[in-house]
Amino acid sequence: MLSNDHIDAFKNITGPKGIITGADEIAPHVKEWRGKFFGKTDLMLAPATTDQVSQIVSYCNDHKIALVPQGGNTGVVGGGIPGLEGRNEVLITTKRMNKNIVVDADDYSIIVDAGCTIQSVQDAAAEQDRLFPLSLASEGSCTAGGVVSTNAGGVHVLRYGTTRALTVGIEAVLPNGQIYSDLSSLRKDNTGYALNQLLIGAEGTLGIITKVAFRLYPMEKQRYTYWLGIDSPATALKLLSSAREITGDRVSVFEILPELGLSLVLNNIPDTAAPLTAPYPWYVLMEVATTTRDNSLQLTLDTWLEAMMQNGLLLDGAEAQSEAQRKAFWKLRESMSEAQKYGGGSIKHDISVPVSHVPVFIEQTFTALEKHFPKCRPMPFGHLGDGNLHFNVLQPEGTNKEDFLSEWSSMNALVHDIVTEHKGSISAEHGIGTLKREELARLKDPAALAAMRTLKAALDPNNIMNPGVLFK
């Protein structure tokens, strides 16, 4: 319980609007949407300016009060939830820091407050005929500060990179309260350590991001969207390689989905329909996008698809003939996570391996899973173009859900060990949070881990910034 002196001090900094103590108002901020993490706090601070954030952090550093930053609370690894494991922490939300969005169309950049949603960043860019390519299902709620802090990925990484590639400048409050300002949209700057890069993916452990400068791109004017039926991930890899070549690297989406996932969607999610007349072992959702209206690309793609059918790589395929049909294809992909709930309990992995390793990785992991967890039903799906799979495993049919879920850690260890053999990552998109700290400690390169701890101790000697995250 924080003393009234502390609460008065915070009130002096933010004014009454920035102090939230009502349990009802705090409640949605102390639980994660997947229902896996439930925390608690007596106080949520909602500063409106960078200066207020700086004063709050400085005060907390002086009084050794721990802070947990939160943006849209769409994270899934327990990184933005205060009070987990009995810690006393104050929540600091950026929800009032969402007023400023400035587009510089000629500079292909946009500078935004940390609390702006990704949807609002996309919309502001689009108004000036520019593309902000970060796109993820949580974009209506997740924030600029949140995506930078988790280095979010989404469906366009293949073409435009992760948030790290899209971030050109950051303003942040460091754990001692100092304002670090590198908010320009400079593309070239070789003046020593790039602190920006440390803050990206730091999950709120090295400071609070208050503003971000993002890179923009020319607006995509034409999209070709395909739903393809194939026999295996190895074929998907060949198609990806070849499609990148013939389109001049204009493939912007390349997602792989198993038949098990599609059938769960079709059987359980309303208003969905199979794009192809027969089922196939695997499917690809592919999108090619151009910034010009270019009919020659359509011809190139038609010829390519015909050749792929003839050589037997492609078993069947459909091209979206309208925006409505395109959305229908996307609905199948986006419903995958929800649909798997109808298959019973599932154990999740958010992994990546080098793109060319994906087929072998899937094969090896399927074999190992069958040996150790007979009849479990692996359902990997996602961003083949980035080597990133949501490698979820459903319980065997007719078995007890709780028994199956009790294998969570041992199954994670088995899958993560194979990932590590391939020099992959145990967290491709969602971060470490509190969920994967043990696995990070077990599998991260010891030299990297030691350097991370040294950096944390140097920048945050009182361990006030998100103390339970990344390290135990």
Ligand X SMILES: Cc1cc2nc3c(=O)[nH]c(=O)nc-3n(C[C@H](O)[C@H](O)[C@H](O)COP(=O)(O)OP(=O)(O)OC[C@H]3O[C@@H](n4cnc5c(N)ncnc54)[C@H](O)[C@@H]3O)c2cc1C
State the residues that interact with ligand X by CB under 6 A.
Answer: 33, 68-76, 79-80, 94, 114, 136-138, 142-143, 145-147, 149-150, 152-154, 203-204, 208-209, 429-430, 466, 469
Q: Closest distance between ligand X and the C-beta of residue 193, in Å?
A: 19
Give the helix ranges, DSSP H, for 208-294: 233-246, 259-268
Residues 6+ apart with CB under 8 A from 18: 10, 11, 45, 46, 47, 48, 52, 96
Q: How far is the CB of 162 from ligand X (least distance, A)?
A: 8
147 vs 415, beta carbon nearer ligand X: 147
Helix (H) or strand (E) holding 442: helix 437-443
User: Among residues 146 and 261, whose Cβ is nearest to ligand X?
Assistant: 146
What distances in angstroms separate CA 22 from CA 12, 18, 19, 92, 94, one per listed residue? 19, 12, 9, 15, 18
Instruction: Give me the least distance between CB of 32 and ligand X, in Å please.
Output: 8
Question: Cβ 163 to ligand X, closest distance in Å?
Answer: 7
Beta carbon nearer to ligand X, 81 or 240: 81
Q: From CA 2, how far away is CA 59, in angstroms rounded? A: 13
The answer for residues whose C-beta is within 8 angstroms of residue 390's C-beta and 6 or more apart is: 336, 337, 348, 349, 350, 380, 381, 382
32 within 8 A of 81, measured Cβ to Cβ: yes
Pick 80 or 345: Cβ nearer ligand X: 80
CA–CA dist 145, 70 (Å, integer): 9
Shortest distance, CB of residue 249 to ligand X, whole angstroms? 22
DSSP state of 27: G
- Phi/psi for 110 (5° steps) reads -145, 135
Smallest gap from Cβ 470 to ligand X, in A, equals 9
Q: Which residue, 228 or 336, has its beta carbon nearer to ligand X?
A: 336
- Distance in Å, CB of 427 to ligand X, minimum: 10
Residue 387 CB, shortest distance to ligand X, in Å, is: 14
Residue 211 vs 247, nearer CB to ligand X: 211
Is the separation of the CB atoms in 226 and 319 below 8 Å?
A: yes
* Tokens 């001692």 sit on residue: 176
Distance between CA atoms of residues 193 and 261, nearest Å: 44
Dig out the tokens for 204 from the structure: 């709120």
Strands 89-93 and 66-70, by their bridges, are parallel
Identify residue 318 by its one-letter amino acid code: A
Residue with the CB atom nearest ligand X in the bound state: 146
Q: Nearest distance from residue 5's CB to ligand X, in Å?
A: 26
DSSP 105-159: TTTTEEEEETT-BHHHHHHHHHHTTEE-----TTTTT-BHHHHHHHT---TTHHH
For ligand X, the closer of residues 151 and 365 by Cβ is 151
Nearer to ligand X, 118 or 288 (CB): 118
Judged by beta carbon, residue 355 or residue 435, the one nearer ligand X is 435
Residue 136 or 455 having the CB closest to ligand X: 136
Q: How far is the CB of 59 from ligand X (least distance, A)?
A: 17
Pairing of the two strands 282-290 and 222-230: antiparallel
